[in-house]
Structure 1
Amino acid sequence: MFESAVARRLVERVTGPVLGPDDDGYAAEVAGFNRIVEHSPAIAVGVRDALEVREVIDFAAEAVIPVAVQGTGHGPSTAAEGTGLLLNTRRMTDVSIDPGARIARAGAGAQWRHVIEAAAAHGLAPLNGSSPLVGVVGYTLGGGLALMSRKYGFAADHVTAIEVVTADARLRIATAEQNEDLFWALRGGKGNFGVVTAIEFGLVPVTQIYGGGLFFPGEAAADVLHGWRSWVETVPDEMSSSLALMRMPDMEPIPEFLRGRLVAHVRVLHLGPADEGERLVKPLREVADAMVDTLAEMPYTRCAEIHNDPTFPIPYHERSVMLRELGDDAAAELLALAGPESGCVDLAVELRHMGGALTRPPAVPNAVDHRDAAFCLSTLALPGPGARPAQVVEGMAAWTTGRRYLNFCAGAEMGALAEEGYGADTYARLRDIKTQYDPDNLFRFNHNIPPRTDA
Structure 2
Amino acid sequence: MTIPVLTEGTFDELDASLTGSLHLPGGADYERLATPWNVAVPARAAAVVEAADAADVVTAVRFANRAGIVVAVRATGHGASSDLDGELLVHTGRLDELTVHEEGWARIGAGVKWGPVLDAAAPFGLAPLVGSAPDVGVVGYLTGGGLGPVARTYGIASDTVRAFEVVTGDGELRRATPEENPSLFWGLRGGKGSLGIVTAVEIDLVSQPTIYGGSLFFADTDTDAVVRAWAAWSPGLDRQGSTSLAINRLPALPFLPPPIAGKQTVAVRFAWTGDLADGERAFAAIASVATPVFGGVGVMPYAAIGMVHSDPVDPLPSHEEFSLLRALPADAVESLLDVAGAGAPSLQLITELRLLGGALADPPRHESAFGVVDAAYTLLTIGLAAGPAVEHSVLDGHGIHAVLAPWATGRELPNFAPADDPARVHRVYDDHTLARLSGLIAAFDPRGVIAAGRPLLAAAASA
Deviates more, 1:263-272 or 1:19-28: 19-28
Output the CA distance in 2 between the equivalents of 1:366 and 1:393: 28
Q: Is the 8 A contact 2:115 2:135 kept in 1?
A: yes
TM-superposition CA deviations, 1:84-122 (whole Å, max 9, x none): 11111111121111222x111111111001211111121
Q: 1:56 aligns with which of 55, 60, 72?
A: 60
TM-superposition CA deviations, 1:150-176 (whole Å, max 9, x none): 011100111111110001110111111
Q: Is the 8 A contact 2:441 2:453 kept in 1?
A: no
> What are the residue-to-residue correspondences of 1:361-400 with 2, within 5 Å?
361-383=363-385, 384=387, 385=389, 386-388=392-394, 389-400=397-408
Determine if the alignment matches structure 1 residue 278 to structure 2 residue 280: yes
Letter in 2 for 1:41: A
Q: Is the 8 A contact 2:421 2:455 kept in 1?
A: no
Q: 1:10 aligns with which of 8, 14, 19?
A: 14
Output the CA distance in 1 between the equivalents of 2:25 and 2:157: 37
Q: 1:222 aligns with which of 221, 224, 241?
A: 224
TM-superposition CA deviations, 1:276-296 (whole Å, max 9, x none): 221111110222222124101
Q: Is the 8 A contact 1:77 1:415 kept in 2?
A: no
Change (3 A) 1:434 1:49: same
Determine if the alignment matches structure 1 residue 403 to structure 2 residue 406: no
Please give the secondary structure, in 2, of the residue aligned with 1:256.
Answer: coil
Letter in 2 for 1:71: A
Q: CA deviation at 1:379?
A: 1.2
Q: Is the 8 A contact 1:80 1:445 kept in 2?
A: no
Q: CA deviation at 1:19?
A: 1.5
Instruction: Give the equivalent residue in structure 1 for 2:172.
Output: 170
TM-superposition CA deviations, 1:403-450 (whole Å, max 9, x none): 11231235x975652221122222222222222222333122578311
Q: Is the 8 A contact 2:168 2:197 kept in 1?
A: yes
TM-score normalised according to structure 1 size:
0.95
Instruction: Give the equivalent residue in structure 2 for 1:432.
Output: 439
Output the CA distance in 2 between the equivalents of 1:321 and 1:369: 16
Q: Which runs of 4+ in 1 moved over 3 A?
A: 1-6, 412-416, 451-454
Instruction: Give the equivalent residue in structure 1 for 2:331.
Output: 329
Output the CA distance in 2 between the equivalents of 1:447 and 1:200: 27
Change (3 A) 1:450 1:15: same
Q: Is the 8 A contact 2:363 2:372 kept in 1?
A: no
Output the CA distance in 2 between the equivalents of 1:453 and 1:168: 21
Letter in 1 for 2:36: G
Change (3 A) 1:120 1:159: same
Q: Is the 8 A contact 1:79 1:445 kept in 2?
A: no
Deviates more, 1:240-249 or 1:72-81: 72-81
Instruction: Give the equivalent residue in structure 2 for 1:66.
Output: 70
Output the CA distance in 2 between the equivalents of 1:60 and 1:193: 15
Output the CA distance in 1 between the equivalents of 2:421 and 2:328: 25
TM-score normalised according to structure 2 size:
0.93
Percent identity between the aligned chains?
Answer: 38
Q: CA deviation at 1:351?
A: 0.6
Instruction: Give the equivalent residue in structure 1 for 2:255.
Output: 253
Please give the secondary structure, in 2, of the residue aligned with 1:56.
Answer: helix
Q: CA deviation at 1:4?
A: 3.9
Q: 2:136 aligns with which of 112, 134, 137?
A: 134
Q: Is the 8 A contact 1:376 1:405 kept in 2?
A: no
- For these two proteins, the number of residue pairs brought into alignment is 451
Letter in 2 for 1:284: I
Letter in 2 for 1:296: G
Output the CA distance in 2 between the equivalents of 1:237 and 1:212: 17
Please give the secondary structure, in 2, of the residue aligned with 1:172.
Answer: strand
Output the CA distance in 2 between the equivalents of 1:149 and 1:445: 26
Output the CA distance in 1 between the equivalents of 2:414 and 2:170: 26
TM-superposition CA deviations, 1:44-98 (whole Å, max 9, x none): 111021111100101111101001100111121222012x111111111211112
Please give the secondary structure, in 2, of the residue aligned with 1:381.
Answer: strand
TM-superposition CA deviations, 1:29-49 (whole Å, max 9, x none): 101212121120111111021
TM-superposition CA deviations, 1:325-365 (whole Å, max 9, x none): 00112111111221123211111011111100000111111
Output the CA distance in 1 between the equivalents of 2:119 and 2:348: 33
Q: 1:75 aligns with which of 73, 79, 85?
A: 79
Q: Which runs of 5+ in 1 are unaligned?
A: none
